[in-house]
Structure formats: structure tokens, C-alpha cells
Amino acid sequence: MQPRAGERVVVAMSGGVDSSVAAALLVEAGFDVVGISMRLWGESSASGCCSLDDFLDARRVASQLRIPYYVMDFRDTFKRAVVDPFVEEYGIGRTPNPCVLCNQAVKFSSFWDRARELGAEWLATGHYARIVRDDATGSAQLWASRDASKDQSYFLFGVDRTVLERSLFPVGDLPKAVVREHAKRLGMAVADKPESQEICFAPKGDYASFVERHARRQAAAGVVVDREGKVLAQHDGVHRFTIGQRRGLGISASEPLYVTEIDAAAQRVRVGSRAEIVATGLVATRVNWLQPLLPSVGGSFQVKIRSRFAPVEVTLERATEQEFAALAPQGLAAVTPGQAAVLYDRERVVGGGWIERALH
């Protein structure tokens, strides 16, 4: 299915330059554009997600583009689907990825439902990713953006294929510098607005304090041990650690030490050398495949296990509807339960899942 001028597109407008330019490009292409900002988190009105300034910026852009603009409240859904799992995962020694959950459960689910109520045929965002459509069938594939340094396809693996069929990423073919040039050409006040690199509901990056404030029970103290079990330090809770972490361990040692294991039941964090955080592969569960058929076992793919990690060549060892296992001949550093493992066939996203365990 191909988008056509005149069809209604609802654009998720965050108040930043990317979504603002996405809306502008759609207006220029002749679509019937409606801008909507999502209120996701209500604890801060001055910074982070859903600040008043962001909503005002989005409203100014919408007014300049002469498109309707609304603010919709998704706080309950966001807390239930994103924030609560974030807190719970840290509490059991896993490292969550809230941006993937937000895309999966809010932006491309609940938000899309509301967009259709407004008569929208398409959903657009400012994500740096591409939808490549088959000329014959119109079926949609998720591809990485042209600007590899800004690519956000990793965060979109969990989106349902039927929603991707109706999704548009207008800035996905453009470098960030060109997006800012578009904004300047249009006289947008957000043209030079800085972008946030933090989790929206914890804008200062202090995830541990956030978890402590919102956890159902107080974090328990524990110990940091070496590979033989010798106690090296005390800690205030396993939520303060992630696999591969090097800094903030509270340990003075002759060699760099990294977190190799987190045992939440025993409140024990194990550390070791860098070689000990290199796995031979991984197992991922709760998989979302973005193609109609399962990928071929034994096939070669690339996997990303953090958004900023380089993709690593892997061989697919097992693939079912709900799980896959991949082997990495070159090794995978810091395989972290709770994080996303996304499979690529070069630029195309094959699918992804949530890391259950590392293989050694």
C-alpha cells in the first residue's frame, strides 16, 4: 500500500526539530496533516518528557504550518506499559529499554488507535528509519535510516507489522544536518533546538534514584564479589548495576573490572575481567518478526544488542515464533538480559526480541 497526497496523516509532534520537519515535509507533499503531542509523564513540567515548552514549540510549528494540533493524554498507558516494567526489571537485576516499549505499546499502538478515530490513514513520526515498500505488493519493510549516526530502527523492532504498513518516517532518508536546514528554510524556531539523549522520564540520567522512588519495596543492600566469590565491596541495590558496567563499582583494583553477573535473589553482583563479559552468542525471547516467514536457521545476519553498539555478525542457530538463538564467532561483549537484540539483514530489520541470557 502506497501513501497518496490528500490522505490524512497524524504526526506525533514532540516539539523537537525532527518531528516538526516531518510534519512540514508531509504538508509540502500534499497530505492532510494533523499534529498531536502525547502527554506521557506528569511529574515534571520544566524538563524531560512533556514539558510545557515542548508543547508550546509543537503548537507554534503547527500554527506556522496551518495544521490542526491537539495534545492527548497517554499517561496511564505509559505508566503501565513503560514505567512500571522499567522499575520492575531493574529490581530483578535486568536492564530494560523503555524507548522500545514506548514505541511498541504507546506510539505505534494506543496512539495509532486514537489517530484512526480522527480518520487518519497514516501515522508519521520523526524517527530516523525508513519504510521500504515493495512496488508490486506495497508491503512494508523496516530499514535503517540513511544517516547511520542517527539511526533509530533498533527502537522500532517491536512495532506490529500491520502498523508499520501504515507508518511514515519522512526524515529517515535525510542526514540530521539537512533536517535542520529544512527547519531554517521554513523559519522554524526549533531549527537549532538541542536533542535529548536521555530517557524522557528520568531527564537527569539518574535511573537508580528514579527506580528507588517508584519501586514497590525498598532496595536491599548486597555485596560485590570477584570470580571466586571474595567480597570486594558493598552496594545499595542491584538496580545500580548493568552487565558490562565498569565505572561506579566502588572498587580499587590493579586491572579494570566489569560487571559479569547480577544475582538479584542473593543481592550479589559479580565482577571480572573484560574477557569474562564476552559471550559466544545469545538467546532472545518475546520475538517480533518483521517478515512473514521465519528467517533461515544457519543464515548470516547482524545483531545489535544496544542502540549505540556496532552490529555484530552472527549465525542464526534457532528461530521460532517466540524465540531465537544466535552465535557470534567474533564474540558479543556485554550481553545484557532485558535489553533488545535486533537482527538485521544489512540495512533491513528482520526482527528482534528481548535478551534472556548470554551463551558461553
Q: Give catalytic residues, as residue numbers.
A: 102, 200
Would you state the cell numbers that stand for residue 299, as one nine-digit string? 543464515
Number of neighbours of residue 117 by Cβ within 10 angstroms: 9
Find the radius of gyration of the CA atoms of the chain.
21
Distance CA(351)–CA(79), nearest Å, equals 25
Distance CA(348)–CA(274), nearest Å, equals 31
Would you state the cell numbers that stand for residue 263, as one nine-digit string? 544475582
Distance CA(142)–CA(252), nearest Å, equals 45
Is 53:29 a contact under the CB 8 Å cutoff? no
CA 197 → CA 162, 246, 248, distances in Å?
A: 29, 21, 21
Would you state the cell numbers that stand for residue 39, as one nine-digit string? 502527554
> Could you tell me if residue 22 is left (phi over 0), alpha (psi between -120 and 50 degrees) or otherwise beta?
alpha
- Could you tell me which of 321, 14, 352 has the C-alpha nearest to residue 154? 352
